[in-house]
Chains A and B, each alone.
Chain A
Amino acid sequence: MAENPYKVLGVKEGASYDEIKRAYREMVKKYHPDKYRDNPLADLADVKMREINQAYDSLMKNSGGSFQYQSESGESQDYNSYDANAKSGRQSGQSSQSSSGGQAGANRQQSGQTGQSGQQGWQGQTGQTGQGSQQGWQGGQQAGSTDESELAKQARNFVNAGNLAEAQRLLDRMRNRNAEWYYLQGLIFLRKGWYDRGYASIQRAVQMDPGNFEYRNAMNGMNNQFQGYRQQYVNRGGAQNPDMCQLCTTIWCADSCCECMGGDLVGCC
């Protein structure tokens, strides 16, 4: 933790305020808890995020700016009213989650914090993503037949806690294979590393219940990760024909954005 804050943020010593801020934003994007949601590495990313925030804080101390990554176990906490509200508002969602699910919830919370000065635009932006995903999370818990929906709820808790075997056992007991069933099955596959099946299951859930934000969100997340990873390679100058790829990705991105809003730009995908 006592590492050189410049090194943590990957900037030269004596970098300007703007450079530090830019590097910080890059790092936050890279290790954002949303990116590591439902991932066995969530806690490792959390540690990284804390290091980054500490480094940023220590560099920004003199400039008056402050932005802190918060988690329940974090050492330096600086709750303000907004965060406290957000916390109590989510209590219900969290109580149904088991310990590590609760932690994931805490991870998502980090984005909903307000800074003191000079950070407003950025804050607003991350605040929205955090809340959006939270909403989707709860939206998925609709009632079906009581017994089955209870099983689904438990299975979801096991998935969140990383107990995949138990979650699978509960899913196998369910007879009603509805959209939520396929969604949960997809999450289990995804966590296990069976990506092809995971994608197929989640796709099925989206097809069965096209209006569900949570399922669509999960599918878009997978697509984004897959495309983003390849895009990195293209940006490195790796692909032979970067212009065509860039074009395709841009169209694809635009299409995904439209689909998020309920429209469609490219009919075939």
Chain B
Amino acid sequence: MFGYVNPDKPELKMREYEVYRACYCAVCKAIGRKSGQLPRLVLSYDLSFLALLLDALNPEPNRILRERCIAHPMRRHAIIAPNPVIDYAADMNVLLAYYNLKDKWTDEHDVGAGTASLLIGMAARRSASRWPLQADGISKQLACLQSLEKSGCDSADEVAEPFARVMEILFACPLVKDEATRKGLSWLGYNLGRWIYLLDALDDLEHDVKEGSYNPLLLQYGYKGGSVPAFRESIRERMAFSLLYPLSEADKALKVLAIGKNAEILDNVIEAGLIRRTDEVLAGIRNGRNKRQNTGA
């Protein structure tokens, strides 16, 4: 949801980058087709990684279309031809964005988020009717997350659990019929979710200190005022472990899945892109992009 899941672009081959882009665009187009134009704004890199991963389980080569897009009307872009797993990822993207925005509205009374959640509400209900179990699971876990955050939970491991479960639900795609494969996907998703939540908490230290908002790391490691960069430095080693260990588990999960194509891109994301991102956040380097907006483009 937060757009952290990205490849290490400089290390990708041009062709691989094209496929990655084509998948990202395909999810965006699928949201447009299934849910309307507006929800396309909530497109997230994390979910396009899910699409790429699920699609890679099918060894058939992709059909690549060349299409125009509203965001870039002048040029035709390569896009992976629509298929069920890409539609699934698109639906999950809308659902997750919707619940997130709704929580932000009820929680922080963020008017922007409230409006956005109203605007994509219809689309989210349509997605939920297509995937009722997933929708139910996501909303339950996010409610659990909210109550943990509200109660001021001081264990990062504990508060990261519900979000990890959300990602677990998303990754265990019911379109994948093989149960063992679904198990591998679940574990990958769970660990990725754990990483995303903790990374976001670490990334938000400055913001949360300034606003006085909840942050599990401030509580767990007993922040007592003072310089945030110094605090970040003091927890750096523990956090490096908490962040990289789940990724190493995700990597193990990726290795046991029967990946039929695009293995280089997936490896690049899990074995390089995510580590690079982790290192940046550990060092306190923020992306220029405002990640609070869910737009990835």
Residues of chain A touching chain B, judged by Cβ–Cβ distance below 8 Å, are 30-31, 35-36, 39-41, 43-45, 47-48, 189, 193-197, 199, 222, 225-226, 228-230, 232-233, 236-239
| Closest residue on chain A to residue B156 by CB atoms | A196
Does the CB pair A195–B246 fall under 8 Å? yes
Q: Does B20 contact A (CB under 8 A)?
A: no
* 6 cross-chain pairs, A with B, having the tightest CB-CB distances, nearest first: A229-B248, A194-B157, A44-B256, A195-B245, A233-B275, A196-B242
Is A195 touching B242 in the complex (CB atoms < 8 A)? Answer: yes
- Say what secondary structure dominates the interface of chain A: helix
Alpha-carbon distance A189/B160, docked complex (angstroms):
13
Q: Which residues of A contact B272 (CB under 8 A)?
A: 233, 236, 238
Judge whether B126 is part of the interface by a CB distance below 8 angstroms. no
Complex contact A193–B164 (CB within 8 A)? yes
Q: Which residues of B contact A41 (CB under 8 A)?
A: 183-184, 187, 252-253, 256
Q: How far is the CB of A197 from chain B (nearest CB, A)?
A: 5
Judged by a CB distance under 8 angstroms, whether B190 is at the interface is yes
List, sorted by A's number, 11 A–B pairs whose CB atoms are closer than 8 Å: A40-B183, A41-B183, A41-B184, A44-B183, A44-B184, A48-B256, A199-B241, A233-B271, A236-B272, A238-B8, A239-B279
B275 touches A230 (CB 8 A): yes
Is B255 on the interface with A (CB-CB < 8 A)? yes
A199 vs B156: C-alpha distance when bound (angstroms): 14
Which residues does chain A contribute within 8 Å of B238, judged by CB atoms?
196
Q: Is B81 an interface residue (CB 8 A)?
A: no
Residues in chain B near residue A197, CB distance under 8 A: 155, 157
Considering only CB atoms and an 8 Å cut-off, how many residues of chain B contact the other chain? 35
- Contact yes or no, A222 B158, CB < 8 A: no
Given contacts A47-B180, A222-B245, A232-B271, 5 further A-B contacts (CB under 8 A): A41-B187, A44-B180, A194-B161, A199-B245, A236-B271
Q: Is B194 positioned at the interface, with any CB of A under 8 Å from its CB?
A: yes
B68 adjacent to chain A (CB < 8 Å): no
Contacts of A196 in B (CB 8 A): 156-157, 238, 241-242
Cross-chain contact B187 with A40 (CB below 8 angstroms): yes
Tell me, yes or no, whether B191 is within 8 Å of chain A by CB. yes
Closest residue of B by beta carbon distance from A48 = B256
Interface centre among B161, B184, B249, B279, by most chain A C-beta atoms within 10 angstroms, is B249
Contact residues in B for A199 (Cβ distance below 8 Å): 241, 245
The minimal Cβ–Cβ distance linking B81 to chain A, given in whole angstroms, is 26
Q: Is B244 an interface residue (CB 8 A)?
A: yes
